[in-house]
Structure 1
Amino acid sequence: MSTAGFARRDTALRELMDDPACDATRLRRTLERFAVVNRLVSGWGGVYREHIRPLARRRAADGTPLRILDIGCGGGDVLERLIALARADGAEVDAVGIDPDARSLAVALARPGHRADYRRAHSSDLVAELATGAARFDVVISNHVLHHLDDAALATVLRDSDALARSLVVHSDIARSPVAYAAYAVGITPLAPGSFLRTDGLRSIRRSWTPRELAPALPAGWQVLRPGRFRLLAVRGERP
């Protein structure tokens, strides 16, 4: 594919795993293998150290739980990793993962020793619960969700995240580029057989934002950060 094909987001592409009728076995394998893929490409260890650890250590010091919400949690691997990292820093963690797809939640709930509460819900469902006295979260995150969203859905998720997070929001995604596309096409080969990882991953890259595209779509007080060459973060920094 020529570099001209990356000049803008290809929002007409749809990922195979988003089809309700997709092959269930290939979908399960895809969701399970995300645990390896995210370890390799998503950089959440660095994101935790840079953005979440200071808050986790403060919660550990004052003896209150660190409350984390993962929007579009998929199979739960990112959220479970953050729980482990925060607990290693001495924090008690109260974590919730939400996803509208029951197939994803089934994988999360089947994870041995999972420590988060997984719910089938949209972010707006949790915003509605705030009116009933539900507690807000210290940190709201997502991983590889933004590129799935059209403009209206993006605005909704950002607005909901702002309402749900009393301290910090970090949405992590891919930074679109032909180099990212080529590197993933080669690197994913050993993990791809019997799954949607290759096709959907390449489609994800073509649907993804560049930092310059995403920045104007963010509300005031948000910023786009580049934690790595192929990554971007939409961050609403900590509130006092």
Structure 2
Amino acid sequence: MTTHNSSVTPAGGSVTAPQPGALRRAFLVDLRLNIRTATATLFTCAISLVLAAFFTDGFAGLLPIWAALAWYRYGRGDTIDRQELRASLGTTRADRVRGRVALIAAESVVILLAMGAATLITVALGHDSTGAGPTFKVSTGPGVSTLVTTVIAVLYAGLALLLTGILMGADCLTRRPGWDAAVLSVLIYFLAGLLGAFVMMLPLMLLTWSRVDDLVGAALAITVLLGAFVVLTVVLRSRMRTWIRQLDSGVQQRLESIT
């Protein structure tokens, strides 16, 4: 008989803090169960870097789309058997949520680094860069180096991925997602990028009219993006607590069986 563990949620609705080492164990368990998915990501990143070294960085433009699908890809692997295996290993539902978020965050960082590296490698080796590495093309003034432009583009793509996780995490963590979650993930990623471009358009236009130095404008852009990262990270942590409460209260605990 398998005993299902669950984290304890106090009556007030707050979520207890993880025990020391619980996050690391949950991360390693999730990584072990999804090693094929994680390996596929590493292989895809390696291929994009090889293509960037010999041809162009255009293939790297597909990497953020793969990253946007992470919540769906890992969620599809959450079968009843895996749920029981986690319970037998002593992994609580709260730890599962934290471990999954940590795993997707780690994968996203790897993808973003590979995405930016592909563009830098292409430019350094004298190949034609399509600027497709970050999916959303970022244009800066002539006084801004390729490295700084790439950093801005990668941060921008990272924000879109964060927003995708905030909006899609519940559907992919509290139940086994269907194909519609994959479509929504990609759609939200692109809409987040378009929304970000619209929001940043006005201040960038003001900087242009004010004839601010290109490097100063780039520094301000990086500062704003990092600030947005902090805000969205706080929002994601809050959403994680909501997902844990949903699982602990019994809402949508039963995952769909493989069809």
Q: Same-fold call, TM > 0.5?
A: no
Specify the structure having the higher radius of gyration (Cα).
Answer: 2
Q: Which structure ranks higher in relative contact order (CA pairs < 8 Å, sequence separation ≥ 6)?
A: 2
**Bigger share in helix:** 2
TM-score under structure 2 length normalisation:
0.29
TM-score scaled by structure 1?
Answer: 0.30
> Which structure features the higher share of strand residues?
1
